[in-house]
């Protein structure tokens, strides 16, 4: 038995039964990390010593009476824009390369209460701004299926770590597709919950009205399991929804999709979609039909405006959120400055990378006097129309099925000199964040080059159970999720 190949639910079952110890789990995973991490480069920080100490303490305590909570002893990786007390949180930026938070994000608090084991913090595009993890100040991560390709972004490190079996599961954040796009590129499962379902307290903000924390896992059952552990109301987050958290595992019991209405938006199958991606996703939709789903073509007419709206709203919020990094309170401080203005300018010049500077400048521009109504105000108005498109669609269907990405993973450096082409990598995921809806990406096939292709399922607000049920039924009817990258 190779411990690192087990899913989260399989590992949890064996650990709870006493078949394996926490020490054996940690040893197996750090052995795996030592073998593949030099190639994949998924981690910014590894915590072998603290993880080993925690595992030994767990095993000692559980000798007498083996009572555990769901995530006790489970080895997870965390995207490095989630605050972890006593552990560096860099956002893959020079600005925060030495920052150690004095507190935990709420999701980390929930995991600590269950005695999970933190293996390390994963790489990302700087401040979560990017679609390839090439914008990291510490260098790019690589796709385990093809080391010459990107793992996606911004949660590329988390997705690559799960795909390469360097952790049993991971957490990421999704602002415009930053969980689902890398999950699709790396052939794993990535879920963006409804906005407000999971607390954002302790997540270093990029765009506050769009950001959402979610799980990246090896299969859909694991996604349901981990989502249940981190979801729920949090008084520390004013946008957190005061709604009960369902038992997501119960949603997986039903194997067929009878009476489930599946919408297929024609706008997502237009020019620019890779033929291999369209073929795989169409085949997945046929599989949903064979499971009992009722397939119906729908329209989401403002889809073509989503990218433009997103890059106005997101950059505007980013320019506001990142204003706190001024060299005074925390983070990097430039040396040898003449005055306060010089301190601000040099700190930001040295601390931020090109993509972050680009987005701050765009955001500052659209919020400036004389342009606010023309750009930001109009973008928010169109955002409302995008929300109404989804509301109208969900009167006719229960789930919307689309491609997760327009192409499979692209080569490292292929789009780094063309920001507009890079931005279009998220064209199928962005509208979900603008509307605050839940969505999941999972493997539905491979390109001729052997790269994963992802299916995206979108649901109504706070109806994560519906998309989990559909995703799990599809997954169990195929063998795609059993395939693993051949990396050693």
For the chain, helix, strand, coil in percent to 5 are 45, 15, 40
For residue 130, give the nearest of 105, 106, 148, 156 by alpha carbon: 156
Catalytic residue among 178, 199, 240, 319: 178
Q: Are 454 and 404 in contact (CB under 8 A)?
A: yes
The order of strands in the sheet holding 399-403 is 43-46, 117-122, 75-79, 169-174, 212-217, 189-192, 439-446, 452-459, 399-403, 261-265, 294-298
Catalytic residue among 41, 79, 346, 415: 79
Cα–Cα dist 404/333, whole Å: 40
Is 346 an active-site residue?
A: no
Residue with tokens 């709870």: 16
Q: For 134-180, list the strands marked E by DSSP.
A: 169-174
Element (H, E) at 445: strand 439-446
The yes-or-no answer on residue 79 being catalytic is: yes
Q: Are 421 and 307 in contact (CB under 8 A)?
A: no
d(CA 375, CA 308): 10
Number of continuous H segments (helices) and E segments (strands) in the chain: 15, 11
Q: Which residues pair with 143 in a beta bridge?
A: 146
Per the annotation, the verdict on 154 as an active-site residue is: yes
Catalytic residue among 92, 93, 132, 154: 154
Residues carrying an active site annotation: 79, 154, 178
């Amino acid at each position: 038995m190779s411990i690192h190949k087990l899913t989260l639910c399989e590992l949890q079952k064996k650990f709870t039964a006493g078949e394996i110890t926490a020490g054996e789990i940690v040893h197996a995973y750090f052995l795996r990390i030592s073998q593949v991490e030099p190639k994949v480069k998924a981690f910014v920080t590894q915590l072998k010593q603290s993880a080993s100490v925690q595992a030994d303490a767990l095993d000692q305590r559980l000798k007498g009476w083996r009572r555990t909570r769901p995530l006790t002893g489970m080895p997870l990786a965390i995207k490095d824009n989630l605050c972890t007390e006593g552990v560096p949180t860099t956002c893959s930026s020079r600005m925060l390369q030495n920052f150690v938070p004095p507190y935990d994000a709420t999701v980390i608090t929930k995991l600590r209460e269950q005695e999970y084991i933190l293996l390390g913090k994963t790489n990302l595009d700087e401040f979560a701004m990017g679609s390839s993890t090439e914008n990291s100040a510490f260098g790019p991560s690589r796709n385990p299926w093809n080391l010459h390709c990107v793992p996606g972004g911004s949660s590329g490190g988390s997705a690559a770590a799960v795909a390469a079996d360097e952790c049993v599961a991971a957490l990421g954040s999704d602002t415009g597709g930053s969980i689902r796009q890398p999950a699709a590129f790396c052939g794993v499962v990535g879920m963006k919950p409804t906005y407000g379902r999971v607390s954002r307290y302790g997540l270093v903000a990029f765009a506050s009205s769009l950001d959402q924390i979610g799980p990246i896992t090896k299969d859909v059952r694991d996604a349901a399991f981990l989502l249940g552990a981190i979801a729920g109301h949090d008084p520390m987050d004013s946008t957190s929804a005061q709604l009960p958290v369902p038992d997501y595992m119960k949603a997986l019991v039903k194997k067929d999709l009878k009476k489930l209405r599946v919408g297929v938006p024609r706008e997502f199958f237009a020019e620019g979609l890779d033929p291999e991606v369209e073929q795989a996703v169409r085949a997945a939709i046929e599989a949903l039909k064979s499971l009992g789903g009722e397939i119906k073509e729908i329209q989401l007419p403002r889809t073509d405006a989503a990218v433009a709206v997103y890059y106005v709203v997101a950059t505007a919020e980013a320019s506001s959120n990142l204003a706190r990094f001024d060299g005074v309170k925390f983070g990097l401080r430039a040396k040898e400055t003449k005055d306060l203005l010089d301190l601000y300018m040099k700190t930001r010049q040295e601390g931020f990378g090109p993509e972050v500077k680009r987005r701050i400048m765009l955001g500052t521009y659209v919020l400036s006097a004389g342009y606010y109504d023309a750009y930001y105000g109009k973008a928010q108005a169109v955002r409302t129309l995008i929300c109404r498109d989804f509301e109208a669609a969900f009167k006719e269907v229960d789930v919307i099925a689309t491609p997760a990405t327009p192409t499979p993973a692209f080569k490292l450096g292929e789009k780094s000199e063309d920001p507009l082409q890079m931005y279009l990598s998220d064209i199928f995921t962005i509208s979900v964040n603008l509307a605050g809806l839940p969505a999941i990406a999972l493997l539905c096939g491979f390109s001729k080059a052997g790269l994963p292709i992802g299916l995206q399922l979108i649901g109504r607000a706070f109806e994560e159970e519906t998309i989990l049920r559909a995703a799990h039924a599809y997954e169990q009817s195929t063998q795609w999720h059993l395939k693993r990258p051949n990396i050693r």
